[in-house]
Structure 1
Amino acid sequence: MRQIVLDTETTGLNPRTGDRILEIGAVELNNRMLTGNNFHHYINPERDSEEGALAVHGLTTEFLSDKPKFAEIADEFRAFIAGAELIIHNAPFDIGFLNAEFKRLNLPPVHEQVHGVIDTLVQAKEMHPGKRNSLDALCDRYGVSNAHRKLHGALLDSELLADVYLAMTRGQNSLSMDEEVVAPVDGAILEIVPLAEVIFQAASDDELAAHEATIAGLDKAVKGQCIWTAVSTAPAA
């Protein structure tokens, strides 16, 4: 399966008030392997960044003034994502900006050009409820080095997210295992395709013996039955 891990940087927070994309970065996965086929462009947004956004990405109006406009890279970008499954952290934000750019050019929205969208923020919140699930927090949680991330950058953040996503989903078919997952993005329901079949491997005799020894130790520690023993030996209803 071809997947594209994608991130954007923008002039502000709201495309409906005229904020624009100023950087797109994306890395390709094929069958959960990085291919080295990346997409990256700085873009002249034709407006200044808001002060808060500039503090995040550091891309000044002067630096972006000679970069191509979105219309100039739109066809290349559409060809790169065509038919792929997109992986985005906080997908509605990036999809909203991309759809605004496509609408200016009378082009179809994202969901009509790709196979589906996975929102890793939604996944992370379900896997780690009540915890911080920013990209930096997930890098820390999954041992992905982000020491070189001083400012946000679309390509760097895509590379980090690819590593985080692979760590989050290692050995996992989908969030519901047997069922396909759908996520609403900008009013559209996009299919999340299961990654692979789940493989079950029976424990060896040595592993079973080690398990029994661990449970026995827990029973001894609580001077009775630990919760595992109590549940596993309870009579059927």
Structure 2
Amino acid sequence: MREIVFDTETTGLNFSGGDRLVEIGCVELVNRVETGRVFHAYYHPERGMPAEAQAIHGLSEAFLSDKPRFADGHLTLLEFIGDAPLIAHNASFDFGFLNGELKKCGREVICLTRMIDTLQVARSRHPGAKHSLDALCSRYGIDRSHRVLHGALLDAQLLAQVYVELMGGRQIGLGLVSDVAAAAAAPTRVRAPSTIREPRLFRPSAAELVAHAAFLKTIDRPIWGAAASG
């Protein structure tokens, strides 16, 4: 099963109000294991960068000035995503910007049936707890020490680890492995041929029986003697 974990950075909170997507990072999972394939891109927002947004992700107008517009670079993104389910934290926000950009450049939007929201999953699994990405990393012991600013690819990589833990870890359902390739790659264990041994007999020798009888005679008032006389 192929899935894509992704995250976005934007100029603000409201695409319909004029904010734009400026960065996207995607991580590929197959059977909930990272394959090492990622997609990462920056986009020119065609507008200014508010100071409050730059304080979150560190992306300035100067840095983005030579980046392609989303309309000019989205085809490679769509090719990477394919038809896989898309996983994001507070996914309605990321889907809102991704679909807003796709619609703006005349492309078909991504169906929301493909959306998996890890925020909703976390609220269901851990009611009453904190559900931010940082809090979930702490809960599951995922190292986030290198996360100084928000970054789409970094956050997607962290979220991929969180998602696997939220869904029960790598041993999904503790089920049987159905992937033939995975089974073929597993190490082959060869049993050593078993040796059938004859049962060992531990019978006392005649000398041992004599010695035992002599020992019993040295015991004063044995309990078995009392039982026999009674």
TM-score (norm 2): 0.73
Written as runs of structure 1 = structure 2, the 5 A alignment for 1:62-211 is: 62-111=62-111, 116-170=114-168, 199=175
Checking the alignment, whether the CA contact within 8 Å between 1:171 and 1:198 is kept in structure 2 is: no
Checking the alignment, whether the CA contact within 8 Å between 2:32 and 2:170 is kept in structure 1 is: no
Q: Tell me by how many angstroms 1:197 deviates.
A: 5.4
For the aligned residues, what is the CA RMSD?
1.9
Checking the alignment, whether the CA contact within 8 Å between 2:43 and 2:64 is kept in structure 1 is: yes
Report how many residues are paired. 176
Residue deviations 1:179-208 (CA, integer Å, cap 9, x gap): xxxxxxxxxxxxxxxxx65649xxxxxxxx
Residue deviations 1:2-50 (CA, integer Å, cap 9, x gap): 0000000000000001100000000000111111110000111111222
For 2:52 and 2:129, locate their aligned partners in 1 and report how far apart those are by CA, in whole Å: 25
Checking the alignment, whether the CA contact within 8 Å between 2:29 and 2:35 is kept in structure 1 is: yes
Residue deviations 1:56-95 (CA, integer Å, cap 9, x gap): 0010000000011101211111111111011100000000
- Find the residue that maps to 2:111 and give its secondary structure: helix
| Structure of larger gyration radius | 2
For 2:102 and 2:93, locate their aligned partners in 1 and report how far apart those are by CA, in whole Å: 15
Q: What residue number does 1:204 align with? A: none
For 1:150 and 1:139, locate their aligned partners in 2 and report how far apart those are by CA, in whole Å: 14
- Find the residue that maps to 1:133 and give its secondary structure: coil
Residue deviations 1:130-152 (CA, integer Å, cap 9, x gap): 22100000000010000000000
For 2:56 and 2:90, locate their aligned partners in 1 and report how far apart those are by CA, in whole Å: 16
- Find the residue that maps to 1:73 and give its secondary structure: helix
2:129 is aligned with what amino acid? Answer: K
State, as a whole percentage, how many aligned pairs show the same letter. 52
For 1:166 and 1:137, locate their aligned partners in 2 and report how far apart those are by CA, in whole Å: 15
Q: What residue number does 2:50 align with? A: 50
Q: Tell me by how many angstroms 1:51 deviates.
A: 2.1
1:15 maps to 2:2: no
- Find the residue that maps to 1:143 and give its secondary structure: coil
For 2:122 and 2:48, locate their aligned partners in 1 and report how far apart those are by CA, in whole Å: 33
Structure 1's unaligned 5+ residue stretches are 174-195, 201-237
For 2:34 and 2:46, locate their aligned partners in 1 and report how far apart those are by CA, in whole Å: 33
For 2:173 and 2:13, locate their aligned partners in 1 and report how far apart those are by CA, in whole Å: 38
Q: What residue number does 2:206 align with? A: none
After TM superposition, what 4+ stretches of structure 1 lie above 6 angstroms from structure 2? none
For 2:19 and 2:60, locate their aligned partners in 1 and report how far apart those are by CA, in whole Å: 14
For 1:171 and 1:11, locate their aligned partners in 2 and report how far apart those are by CA, in whole Å: 34
The structure with the largest strand share of the pair is: 1
